[in-house]
Structure 1
Amino acid sequence: MSSQAILAALIGFDTTSRESNLQLIEFVRDFLAEHQVPCELIFNDDRSKANLFATIGTDDRPGVVLSGHTDVVPVDGQPWTVPPFELTEKDGKLYGRGTADMKGYIACVLAAVPGLLALPLRMPVHIALSYDEEVGCLGVRSLLAELERRANKPALCIIGEPTELKPVLGHKGKLAMRCDVQGAACHSAYAPQGVNAIEYAAELIGELGRIGTRLRAGHLQDARFDPPFSTVQTGVISGGKALNIVPADCRFDFEIRTLPDQDAQGIAQQLQQYAQEQVVPKMQAVNARSGVRFSALSSYPGLATDEHSDAAKLIAECCGSSEFTTVAFGTEGGLFDAIGIPTVVCGPGSMDQGHKPDEFVSVEQLAACDRMLERLTLTLRLLHRRA
């Protein structure tokens, strides 16, 4: 099957993160079985979703992982002009949810399987597909825990997030947190007798802004990234019942996106310390039961792969370019790297199309990814001949 034909099948599965990915995983498992490639499934607790891990070649030595996530973001409320879960080709573009992020890459990987099987390889090639990347890189963690226990842990990883096939060695990490402010309600005519949770939440959000300003200091910047500094932002806030009631509750969610060498937890602790030292005492002076509580929602580490690593050299050879770059969005790459698997991000399409209505990958980008994987196959065969 061609990569485009495989992509059409993959797009037909609604693998929005809130849904199961098992139909897609079963399709891939059956496809690999037809080529006599064994694979294993690593399920979540209720067995509604699964990671897939397959190996082409001998597994008695470290290999190359071709990794991608199977889930996609929702289409709810987006003005699509084509069916989102049906591949549509028009003007050299392939439309559908996940075409760019990142089923296009998965399709190319599967299309490369016959070529990888044709001759012995010096290094095995692993196919790793995960679930729930879009909601915090959740599924891949159990897969990585399994890999970490193995004697022959993979030597390097290529994650096919959309980079227009430009090799990416770095991205920021992310910590998402929730802050619950518990105040004390009263009639708004007697506002000083209550603890206004919204106003104290606003004070904390204001401090987040000041923390963000401090993170822009020149000595903290890294010019390889855009923006070249770590960022914080509040994305969701809710609270209050009626205008004439002092609000007893307010909740806001915020995120911290850090350069790879900066500590997101340390940044969050700055806000927590401010809350305990500056905000909570004022609240409890009015009502002792009021307070502030923080909880983590999700996190993943940044990525900063050495440009002289074997992973970087291999992807440079396959892409025909040693001009490495960085991206602002996060991937599962930092998690691979954290267990000692050097990782490069390189895949077809652009994140400019990801998460948007009428998402697409160009026919040429898909074909270029096919060629990149063909060069990878050739490189691994040449390694075999040199041995």
Structure 2
Amino acid sequence: MDARPRVDKLHGMSSIARALLLLERLVAIDTTSARSNAPLIEFVRGELAAQGIECRVTVEGEKANLHAIIGPRVAGGLALSAHVDCVPVEGQAWLADPFALRRQDGRVIGRGACDMKGFVACVLAMVPEMLAADLARPFHLCLTHDEETTFRGADRLMDELGHDAPPPALCIVGEPSGMAPIIAHKGYASWDVVFTGLSGHSSRADTTANALMAAAEAVAWLKAEARRFATQGRRVEGFVPPYTTVHVGTFRAGTVLNIVPDHAAFTLEVRTVPGDEASEVLARFVAQVESAILPELRAVHPESAMIVAPRARAPALELDEHHPLLALVQRTSGSNSRGFVSYGTEAGYYQRAGIPAIVCGPGDIAQAHQPEEWIAESQLQACCTFLERLIEDQVRGTG
């Protein structure tokens, strides 16, 4: 695929036409989580370089982050942040090539079109307007990797901001929200859990350490913990559901019925409302296993164990409803709402780094991760209008 800069073709086009052309190019680059996102990062770097904008690209293996500053390198900047990795398409019922953008009945269809290359395309489409404006404060364009898996890109980015210039003062994460401001989301943490025991014939279960049954007992405790949160746990109205959730998503163990399994594995996630900590849930879980489950296995096979390995972690987001950032986004988006969502984003990383953050971007989260993923052209237009107003604000320096 030709990934050369197309800036020459963007001049003279409307913002929505530019966004659609750029989105076509972005979707065509397969950045599903098992693949490198470097080709897309290089495409964006080329687009920006052709307009005289330098980028800081940091590479980790086959993955990369990009940070570009548009405007004066002064304090008070506004970050426009997005991840560029996508979920896989295997096993989904797509009607055509997921990486060839299609337009149909006001919808733009393709993997990542909604989550969240549509936002990236709109930001890139508005760069000429940013450059033409007399900005009092800069825009920071932040693109990350692996949000769909480990959040590793956002975690690394926090160390990179402020390297060559003052870091942004505020951040807008453009996850699909229907262009409505989101001021809070749950925290997220997940782990791989592995039980090991001792195999043998099922007729002599007394001489074996059944890892599957131990893991199942552990999952039963997690189910009880999930029930406790639902009935007795902290409640934060605005979230759906308004309490912390505990979920086991996969379970793998056993080969045939008459062989006792010596290995069992499952994946665990916890989504916390503000005030709850996933680390505390994990600590209670480990204590329960160590005191009530593993001793029975170790009585037969002392080497029996449970191994817990972190998969991903995303801090919760909680922006005060009186913060000026909410007023700014309400004014420029035209939406006076202030929503709460249960899914995680990278906004919590900015908040943890001392940069107040909010979520506002084009598209409907219900379309994310789905076959025939789509975003409405009207949402892309609304995002371009939103960015135009943000540019005006950065010129005035009144946000």
TM-score by length of 1: 0.96
Counterpart selection for 2:266 from 252, 255, 271: 252
Unmatched segments (≥5 aa) in structure 1: none
Shift of 1:182: 1.2
Matching of residues 300-319 of structure 1 within 5 Å? 300-319=314-333
Q: 1:379 to 1:268 in 2, by over 3 A?
A: same
Equivalence for 1:278: 292
Q: Deviations over 1:315-374 (max 9, x none)?
A: 111112331001121111111110001111111011111101000001111111111111
Counterpart for residue 93 of structure 2:
79
Q: 1:265, 1:14 → 2: CA distance? A: 34
Percentage of pairs with the same residue: 38
Q: Is the partner of 1:27 in helix, strand or coil?
A: helix
Return the letter of the residue paired with 2:301.
N
Query: 1:29 aligned to 2:29?
Result: no
Which residue matches 2:386?
A: 372
| Counterpart contact for 2:222–2:246, Cα < 8 Å | yes
For residues 349 and 118 of structure 2, the distance between their equivalents in structure 1, rounded to whole angstroms, comes to 22
Once the two structures are TM-superposed, the CA of residue 192 in structure 1 deviates from its matched residue by: 2.1
Distance in 2 between residues matched to 1:151 and 1:89, nearest whole Å: 40
Which amino acid in structure 2 is aligned with residue 226 of structure 1?
Answer: V
Q: How far does the alpha carbon of each residue in 1:260-295 deviate from its partner, in whole angstroms, 9 at most, with x for none?
A: 221100011111010011111122122222222222
Instruction: Tell me how far 1:149 sits from its aligned partner.
Output: 5.3
What corresponds to 1:153 in structure 2?
167
Residue pair 1:148, 1:339 contacting (<8 A) in 2 also:
no
- How far apart in 2 are the matches of 1:40 and 1:267? 38
Match of 2:110 among 96, 116, 120: 96
Cα distance in 1 for partners of 2:267, 2:73 equals 44
Aligned-partner residue type, residue 93 of structure 2: P
Segment of structure 1 superposing worse, 238-247 or 126-135:
238-247
The residue type equivalent to 2:249 in the other structure is: G
- 2:3 match: none
> Is the contact between residue 140 and residue 332 of structure 1 (CA under 8 Å) also seen in structure 2?
yes
- SS of residue paired to 1:288: coil
The aligned amino acid for 1:268 is L
Cα offset for 1:151? 6.2
* Equivalent in the alignment of 1:105: 119
In structure 2, list runs of 5 or more residues that go unmatched.
Answer: 1-9, 11-17
Provide the rounded CA distance (Å) in 1 between the counterparts of 2:293 and 2:142: 46
- Matched AA of 1:89: R
Give deviations 1:296-317, integer Å, cap 9, x for gaps: 1211111111122232121111
Tell me the residue number matched to 2:14. none
User: Given that residues 88 and 95 in structure 1 are in contact (C-alpha distance below 8 angstroms), is that contact kept between their aligned partners in structure 2?
Assistant: yes
User: In 1, are the aligned partners of 2:209 and 2:300 still within 8 Å (CA)?
Assistant: yes
- 4+ residue runs over 6 A deviation: none
Does the CA contact (< 8 Å) of 2:179 and 2:335 recur in 1?
Answer: no
Residue 169 (str. 1) matches residue 183 (str. 2): yes
How many residues matched? 383
CA distance in 2, matches of 1:173, 1:3: 32
| 2:350 aligned residue | 336
CA shift, 1:62, in A, is: 2.6
In the superposition, the TM-score normalised over structure 2's length comes to 0.93
